Structure 1
Amino acid sequence: MSANAILLTDGLLTTTDAKTAHGLIRGTDRYTVTGVVDAPTAGQDAGAVLDGQSRGIPIFSSVQEALSTLNQVSYAIVAVATSGGSLPPNMLNDIKQCLQGGLSVVNGLHEFLNEKPDLVALAHEYGGTLMDVRRPKQRHELHFWTGEINEITSPIIAIMGTDCALGKRTTARLIQEACSRHNLNAQMIYTGQTGWLQGVSYGFIFDSTLNDFVSGELEHALVSCWRETGADVLLIEGQASLRNPSGPCGAEFLVSGNARHVVLVHAPKRTYYDHIPAWGPIRSVESEIELIRCYGSSVIALALNTEACSRDEAFAFQKQYADQLGIPVLLPLEEGVMPLLPIIQALTATAHAH
């Protein structure tokens, strides 16, 4: 039975900075989320705020309100992913209140709680623990790339995006669940802190891994997962995008992770990387598909993030891209990912045949 947890979002729940909270509200095997602390949306259901689906997770205006209402909460999770990974200004106060309530605090940011003596003292005094998920591994725990990746015979699919915070992890999780419902053993490789928080068994935290070992950690996760689970298909959760200048990422999945197939996630109405004009315009889907082809991999489906779209616009974009590209175009949140399933079944059948 997973332990009960509340999510701390510092008022950011309705923004992309709270994508960690969004993932945990949609589902986690590691914790049972029983409440969210987010003053601007207090009194509502977290699922309803997120995507209109009520999930029985109440939102509270303060830590005190949450702890006085809920029973047997063991953990508080810092459920935001800010640019640069720093703690939002008011979060420290919430964390202190959680520690004083006897909770343990799990933190996925680059700013480490264990480096704050006052928090360490509070945890010690009230019997909680501080866990910094993104703390880099020790050198002896890291793996260098070996070439063992080439032993994997199951298809490897990378879920990549044209920008950050588009829903790559959510899309990967939905694909995994769809495969499971059709007796395909799909395993996901997490590459960020939210995947770990959701209880995914294999992976590594990309942006806190020393650059020399990124390729090796990716390979080690894929090879270990394939050998130990007998996965029919391996899904790599992507990070950032190949051309986001603040942190270009993705070549490793194609080159070192040998992902020959890509599901590309794109937001038709997003104009600039991370919504910041100074970072430059997001390139066309066609040019991204061509770039991925240059790496020797093919885009097998496009998934749309329909932020700022009406329902009619979402379906219009779906039709437009399907006509333009000639591949399945998914609306993961509106319709799920089932059109991708025949493609994955064909890939695994081919792999088994060999």
Structure 2
Amino acid sequence: MTNRAILLTDGLLSTPNAKTAHGLIRGTERYTIVGAVDRPTAGQDAGAMLDGNFRNIPVFASVDDALAQVEAVSYAIVAIATNGGVLPESMLTDIKNCLEHGLSIVNGLHEFLNDKPDIVALAQQHGAQLIDVRRPKPRNELHFWTGEVRQITAPIIAVMGTDCALGKRTTARLIREACGQHNLNAQMIYTGQTGWLQGGQYGFVFDSTLNDFVSGELEHALVSCWRETGADVLLIEGQAALRNPSGPCGSEFLVSGNARYVVLVHAPKRTYYDHDAAWGKIPPVESEIALIRAYGSDVIALALNTEDCTDEDASTYQKEFSERLGIPVLLPLQTGVDAVIPVIKSLIINK
């Protein structure tokens, strides 16, 4: 892979706002991540800082430090996710510095670099590209829902969550990888900018798509993927949560995407949506499962986000939920997702 890139995180690498960086650190087929720029965590390995796994991705205090120590870098990725997709003013210095070194900038925020004349001029001056991943598609490239999704015979599984920033995308990728290790052709439909950055071939950026065409873009991705890859199973990366008031999302996957099966991701120690009491309490898992069932879909596994948990806490929650729900309960980052593979195999056999 020749697309060598550094991550720009504006001091947020150790926070949930750097979930784009976290996804790219864990894996991407589109870029080779060779470093991160994050002053508070400089000197560490990004992988070790994230989850204890050394990945040879050094963290530097500045762009100059990174480029002095890492060779042949072509891209800098704005690897944070802010509320509303706003570009922090403090990042512009790093972005301009990268452009002056001839690096192209990949931006996953809603605030577009191509709308900033001084940034555009600087990029042109140094022969660099500005890639705004979330820029909406032209109207003539959008698809309207047709019903073709109902022709798909492979099981469709949506990886959904009880809140935002729980690890839905990571869980979906881990399930896809586990399926591959068991000789199952699993394909993942990305629905966010990080999924594209990680190399997703089929999907769309949900929150950049005009509402009338969300269902159609989802269907088009599913149908195209199934027809072109012969997938045994299709996985949809979920967004937000069915009842998160800041951006309720998920019914599209169940209704328009015809996902009859769900892997639900939940953080047992998270009390409020997005950790904000004003947004309301997250309902019990059983309540979310009942809501999903009301849509005509079955939750086939629960995946736990173990934020604020000790290892003992995680094991205790896994045992408790398994006994309460009678379905596989996964600890994706600790022990993987293999426990859901027999369930997926049964869905494929009985499709």
What TM-score, normalized by structure 2, do the two folds share?
1.00
Give yes or no for the alignment of 1:78 onto 2:78.
yes
- Given that 1:73 and 1:103 are in contact with CA atoms closer than 8 Å, whether structure 2 keeps it comes out as yes
Partner of 1:200: 200
- Given that 1:154 and 1:231 are in contact with CA atoms closer than 8 Å, whether structure 2 keeps it comes out as yes
- Given that 1:164 and 1:273 are in contact with CA atoms closer than 8 Å, whether structure 2 keeps it comes out as yes
Deviations 1:178-232 (A, max 9, x none): 0001110000000000000000100000000000000000000000000000000
Deviation at residue 2 of structure 1 after TM alignment: 3.6
Aligned AA (2:194): T
Give yes or no for the alignment of 1:115 onto 2:105.
no
1:255-270 pair list within 5 angstroms: 255-270=255-270
Deviations 1:224-263 (A, max 9, x none): 0000000000000000000000000000000000000000
Partner of 1:318: 318
What is the distance in 1 between the residues matched to 2:349 and 2:184?
11
Unaligned runs of 5+ in 2: none
Partner of 1:239: 239
Partner of 1:87: 87
What is the distance in 1 between the residues matched to 2:110 and 2:148?
31
Aligned AA (1:43): G
Partner of 1:331: 331
Aligned AA (1:220): H
Deviations 1:136-191 (A, max 9, x none): 00000000000000100000000000000000000000000000011100000000
Deviations 1:286-312 (A, max 9, x none): 000000000000000000000000010
Give yes or no for the alignment of 1:137 onto 2:137.
yes
Deviation at residue 349 of structure 1 after TM alignment: 1.1
User: What SS does structure 2 have at the residue aligned with 1:303?
Assistant: strand
- Given that 1:156 and 1:233 are in contact with CA atoms closer than 8 Å, whether structure 2 keeps it comes out as yes
What is the distance in 2 between the residues matched to 1:117 and 1:25?
31
User: What SS does structure 2 have at the residue aligned with 1:202?
Assistant: coil
Aligned AA (1:223): V
Deviation at residue 89 of structure 1 after TM alignment: 2.8
Partner of 2:67: 67
Aligned AA (2:341): L
User: What SS does structure 1 have at the residue aligned with 2:350?
Assistant: helix
User: What SS does structure 1 have at the residue aligned with 2:303?
Assistant: strand
Aligned AA (1:301): A
Partner of 2:154: 154
1:1-354 pair list within 5 angstroms: 1-351=1-351
What is the distance in 2 between the residues matched to 1:81 and 1:332?
22
User: What SS does structure 2 have at the residue aligned with 1:174?
Assistant: helix
Aligned AA (1:178): A
What is the distance in 2 between the residues matched to 1:89 and 1:274?
24
What is the distance in 1 between the residues matched to 2:15 and 2:286?
28
What is the distance in 1 between the residues matched to 2:116 and 2:314?
45
Aligned AA (1:177): E
Aligned AA (1:234): L
What is the distance in 2 between the residues matched to 1:83 and 1:273?
14
What is the distance in 2 between the residues matched to 1:165 and 1:222?
23
- Given that 1:2 and 1:30 are in contact with CA atoms closer than 8 Å, whether structure 2 keeps it comes out as no
- Given that 1:134 and 1:193 are in contact with CA atoms closer than 8 Å, whether structure 2 keeps it comes out as yes
Deviations 1:48-81 (A, max 9, x none): 0000000000000001100111100000000001
Aligned AA (1:200): G
What is the distance in 2 between the residues matched to 1:50 and 1:280?
29
User: What SS does structure 1 have at the residue aligned with 2:89?
Assistant: coil
Deviations 1:4-37 (A, max 9, x none): 0000000001111000000000000000000000
- Structure 1 runs (4+) deviating above 3 angstroms are none
What is the distance in 2 between the residues matched to 1:264 and 1:197?
23
Deviates more, 1:83-92 or 1:160-169: 83-92
Deviation at residue 87 of structure 1 after TM alignment: 1.0
What is the distance in 2 between the residues matched to 1:176 and 1:50?
21
Aligned AA (1:270): R
User: What SS does structure 2 have at the residue aligned with 1:68?
Assistant: helix
What is the distance in 2 between the residues matched to 1:2 and 1:143?
33
What is the distance in 2 between the residues matched to 1:2 and 1:177?
23
Deviation at residue 88 of structure 1 after TM alignment: 2.0
What is the distance in 2 between the residues matched to 1:315 and 1:82?
32
* Count of paired positions: 351
Deviation at residue 90 of structure 1 after TM alignment: 1.2
